[in-house]
Amino acid sequence: MSTVAASPLASVVIPAYDAEATLPACLAALARQSLAPERFEVIVVDDGSTDATAQVAERAGVRVVRLPANAGPAAARNRGAQAARGEVLVFTDADCEPTP
């Protein structure tokens, strides 16, 4: 997963609310993708979580966008799309484990 300045091919946006327990498996699955890590970025949108969701994402080295209060998954996805730099937007949820 990349946070480099060059534009990635894809941006994976993950809206997350109180996803501390499920987010690590999702991020690990994304790290195992067949697309080279420098070709995609991962953006976790912390939707006003009350747990350590943002810290989990930060420890994984992915971009974190924080919403000050829970606004729901649609608002979190939209904010993630605004922050994305990729040519292609991909959306998944924090409790999903995408296969390579």
Q: Is residue 81 part of a domain?
A: yes
The label of the residue with tokens 């730099």 reads: 85
Candidates 77, 98, 85, 87; CA nearest to 13 is 77
- pLDDT digits 0-9 by tens, 55-85: 999 999 999 999 999 999 999 999 999 999 9
Domain extent at residue 36: 10-91
The number of distinct structural domains making up the chain is: 1
Distance (Å, rounded) from C-alpha 28 to C-alpha 86? 20
Amino acid 17 reads Y
Q: How many CB atoms lie within 10 A of CB 19?
A: 24
pLDDT at 6 over 80: no
CATH number, position 27: 3.90.550.10
- pLDDT digits 0-9 by tens, 14-49: 999 999 999 999 999 999 999 998 999 999 999 999
Q: Extract the tokens encoding 12.
A: 């994976």
